[in-house]
A and B are shown apart, each in its own frame.
Chain A
Amino acid sequence: MIRHSIRHIVRKEFTDVLRDGRFRWCSVLVGALLLVSLGHGWVQAREAQREHAAAQATARDHWESQGEKNPHSAAHYGIYAFKPRLALSFVDEGVDPYTGTSVWLEAHRQNDFLLRPAQDATSAQRVGALTAAQVLQHLVPLLIILLTFGALAGERERGTLRQLLATGVGRRDLALGKALGIAGALGLLLVPAAAVGAAALVVGSPGPAASPVARAAVLAVVYLVYFAAFVALSLAVSAWARSTRTALVILLGVWVVNGLVAPRVAVDLSKWMHPTPSALEFAQTVEREMATGTEDIIPPDRDALAERLMAQYGVERVEDLPINDVGAYLQESEEFGNRIFDRNYGALWDTFERQGVVHELVAVAAPLLAVRALSMGLAGTDVEQHRHFASAAETYRRDLMRRMNGDLTENSRSGDFSYQAGAELWESTPPLRYDAPTLGWVLGNRFLSLVVLGGWLAGTILIAAARVRRAEVA
């Protein structure tokens, strides 16, 4: 009996929604935007990935064919690393336009990532970037609000709520039926989009990623939870508000705070709680510490090193060493520099991550921030995964420098500046291989957002249930 009545309500709500011209227009618009942004994102991501892969291959080629030279000259010549686009980045480009795409791995210094795509765009393009993720995070909730604000308030205004309840339908069944009817209508929009997205992933994945299918599945669940929370919230407001107008105004207010105000407030809050140095200050600190060291990190002393080496090998003069002391000194400088870089860049990236946590905390007031963090994480385009690649590139640089300095140390003698290595050495260094982090790593990073989003779903359902129970019939 109860199940029977729910089915009726679901069918009635579903039919109502489909007959509503406003919904038809809105869904066509949102659906079209979703498909266009998915397609555009996919084309762009594939193009970028193809270009980066080609550039990476050319960079390796340059490295291998650099001819005979001193290993330290080769270290100065260095190699460029290009950040790969991960498979799901076509759904959510995340912070990618605002991080550099390539980094020069050279002797003595850890360089910044350069070439930020956003710097090539105009201010208008910065305002109006649209990705599938943005359609899902901003426009679908708006659609949900438009579908749901009148669900209960409207029945009450028309006086049909009293009639409906008089037929013996439970309040909870009524609300559940309405929610499911709306979900069914949304499904008409979301299922095809998800199918297109999945097809794009299977047909031609834009780039590598660890377990892209599992990531995509979790991504889908995250968005469904977000939408469900919005449906529950809208129903709660619709049950509580005295008129449809009030319900709509309140829900639009929630939408504005969630999508427009809270994200930007989070920016200021994060900068205020975890300030970053100015670029100039940062560069000056690194330059100063590279020149003089810090309290704990002391620059290498070339004479002391030579003494140590002579004692170790039991010789009197540097020229008698069986190795090249310059190579050993260069490696010590390299390790000194690495500690300075780890200290400064490490602190900076830690600050960025702490700022990210502030954004995730603001999600308690605006679920969009939790969904955005999870979406970027799963798409592989968040700050943490940029750092993951940057660290991989830096680790590779350090290994490369160790190999060059090692070759110089072992295969030449002190005072010999004519030593040259060749293609054999260049080819013996492995190319940069990057393994994107696993799903577990991403979810571990985004644990806070998972909790907050789950809290939103549970909270909105509880509030909706309470409001529906107490809703006035007229």
Chain B
Amino acid sequence: MTARIVIRNEWRLLMADRPLRLALGLFALLLVYALANGVVWTRFQESTVEVAQAGNVERALAIEQELTDIENGAEPASPFSDPRLPNVLGGRRGRHTAVLTPGPLTALAVGQSDLLPYYYDVNIYTNESSFHQSGEVESPLNLMVGRFDLAFVVVYLLPLLVLALSFNVLSEEREQGTLALTLSQPVSARGVVAAKLAFRALLVVGMVLAVSLAGILVAGDFGAPGRILLWCAAVVAYALFWFVLAAWVNSLRRSSAWNATVLVGAWLVLVVVLPAAINIAAGLLHPLPSRVQMVTAQREASNEAVNQRSELLARYLEDHPEMAEGVVADEPGLGALAWAATDAVNRRLEEVTAEHDVRRAEQIALVRRYRFLSPALLTQEVLIDAAGTGDARFAAFQSQVRVFAERWREFFVPAILASEQMNAGVLSDVPQFRLADEASADVVRRAGVPLAVLTGLLGLAGAGAGVGLGRVRGAD
């Protein structure tokens, strides 16, 4: 009953306040703009993925045609790209592009998808350095600034709107002298603030969720309900956190100006300063060796490998008897020798990468531990993870490509070692990359921790606000 009256009056007040109406309208506009941006990006990625997959089919067809022609007596177009050679069929010419389809909610959060590669060309020469290619063509300046997507609007701008809507939710009543009057009614300060904020929260969260769902409708489908729920939960928890924080600050019984300053300060510290401080600390405590060493190590390994190819081949055959059926190390072909050298370089690269990954894991662990201090970082993580554009999905894709590259080598290398020729008959057995995308349940499990911590922070602020508001009296 009281809540209904409060909400009805709040609506009237809001409609009478021109600056607030303007702010809400602007926010709605920015939401739609951000969504449109995300949809354009998703479409771009989808069309690239299509081209990449069509390329796989075209290459396979051209090779099949040439192999059939050769079997019918034609000469190969060039001795260097003869598809009968296993290092050609399994090499650059016959390469297979492994593709990561855009995350189900990419239109809502571009995340890391503009920076990290979402397809790799796999062939027998794929090694650790293959994973250090650039992603999509993009001006470094644009990458530096980042995209205007819904996740950005939620993490950075939504708190500011929330604060503008609620920094004086109680202090204004006191400054206008209406607080005593309001609290002389059979209502508590807690109830009044809760009703006022509930109305504002419904408005703001409703707008964000409506635009998000519209985005999912336009750019994707509702096939990943877990992800959608996760997205909505993060938006709700984050928005409520800021509302509750505003209520808490209001319960301290200071002036509206003081509230505004403190809340803007809180935004600055939680959204801008803390994430930066965490990163600087991570950089100082666990400095990352640059990848430059990798280039040098690769160089040195290949210099050595070229000089000791036969020795390397003997060792390789010892290590990989499964690859070497019927190959005699004493009379190796040129292809076998070259492969042994390639393999030695790959092993050395893996060693260097492993060292680097250990250091990188330390740095990331530190960032992950202290991200609990900033609701902005937590929310950002849950949002892009839910969208399928977070680090974890790209890392999983990369390790699947690694496994696929191994399968690819297992298919072609025995023929290289045995100096055998391939024919059209093997084409149907050539490995194909099948993405095993993470299930919604995995994402929910992974994002559950940051979401729980976010909810915990919300509860903490809520408790503070509850206690503080309980002390508010009309006579203040």
Chain A residues with a Cβ under 8 A of chain B: 22, 26, 29, 33, 36-37, 40, 43-44, 47-48, 51-52, 55, 58-59, 62, 66, 80, 82, 94-95, 97-102, 112-120, 122-130, 134, 138-139, 142, 146, 244-246, 248-249, 252, 256, 260-261, 263-268, 270-271, 276-282, 284, 348, 351-352, 355-356, 359, 382-383, 386
Contact call A245/B257, Cβ cutoff below 8 A: yes
Is the C-beta of B74 less than 8 angstroms from some C-beta in chain A? no
Task: Report Cα–Cα, A215/B119, bound state, in Å.
Answer: 41
| B444: chain A residues within 8 A (beta carbon) | none
By size class, the interface of chain B is 35 or more
- Chain B residues whose C-beta falls within 8 Å of the C-beta of A128 in the assembled complex: 272, 274-276, 278-279, 377
User: Which residues of B are found within 8 Å of A26, using beta-carbon distances?
Assistant: 265
Q: Binding site of A, secondary structure by majority: helix, strand, loop or mixed?
A: helix
* Bound Cα distance from A122 to B360, whole angstroms: 10
| Complex CA distance for A383 and B115, rounded to whole angstroms | 16
Q: A114-B132, A383-B139 are known contacts; what are 6 more A-B pairs with Cβ within 8 Å?
A: A62-B299, A115-B132, A115-B291, A246-B19, A268-B147, A280-B55
- Shortest Cβ distance from A29 into B: residue: B273
7 nearest CB pairs, A to B: A128-B275, A130-B276, A95-B140, A264-B148, A98-B140, A352-B139, A98-B143
Would B299 and A80 count as touching, CB distance under 8 A?
yes
Q: Is B295 an interface residue (CB 8 A)?
A: yes
A245 with B256: CB separation less than 8 A: yes
| A37 nearest CB across to chain B (Å) | 7
* Cα–Cα distance between A126 and B116 once the two chains are bound (Å): 12
A20 to chain B, nearest CB (A): 11
For the complex, give the distance between the alpha carbons of A124 and B368 in Å.
9
Contact of A114 among B133, B141, B156 (CB under 8 A): B133
In the complex with contacts A119-B116, A249-B19, A267-B142, A55-B292 CB distance below 8 A = yes
- The chain A residue with its CB closest to the CB of B111 is A123
Check if A264 sits within 8 Å of B48, measured CB to CB: no
With A62-B299, A119-B132, A264-B145 as known contacts, state yes or no: A51 contacts B280, CB within 8 Å: no
CA distance A265 to B156 in the complex (A): 14
Which of A55, A130, A356 touches B141 (beta carbons < 8 Å)?
A: A356
Against A, the Cβ 8 Å flags (1 = close, 0 = not) of B21-63 are 0000000001000000100000010011001100100000000
B275 touches A116 (CB 8 A): no
B390 at the interface (CB under 8 A from A): yes
Q: Which of B100-108, B223-231, B282-290 is near enough to bind chain A?
A: B282-290
Given the complex, which residues of A lie within 8 Å of B132, measured CB to CB?
A: 114-115, 119
B264 touches A44 (CB 8 A): no
Residue in A122, A246, A260, A284 whose beta carbon sits within 8 Å of that of B156 in the complex: A260
Tell me if B112 is interfacial: C-beta within 8 Å of chain A: yes
B139 touches A40 (CB 8 A): no
Contacts of A348 in B (CB 8 A): 137
Residues of B within 8 A of A123 (CB): 111-112, 380-381, 384, 390-391
The CA of A29 and the CA of B390, in the complex, are separated in Å by 31
Known: A124-B381, A249-B164. A277 touches B290 (CB 8 A): no
Task: Please tell me which one of the listed residues B277, B296, B303, B377 contacts residue A124 in the complex, with CB atoms under 8 A apart.
Answer: B377
The CA-CA distance from A280 to B368 in the complex, in Å, is 34
Would B275 and A127 count as touching, CB distance under 8 A? Answer: yes
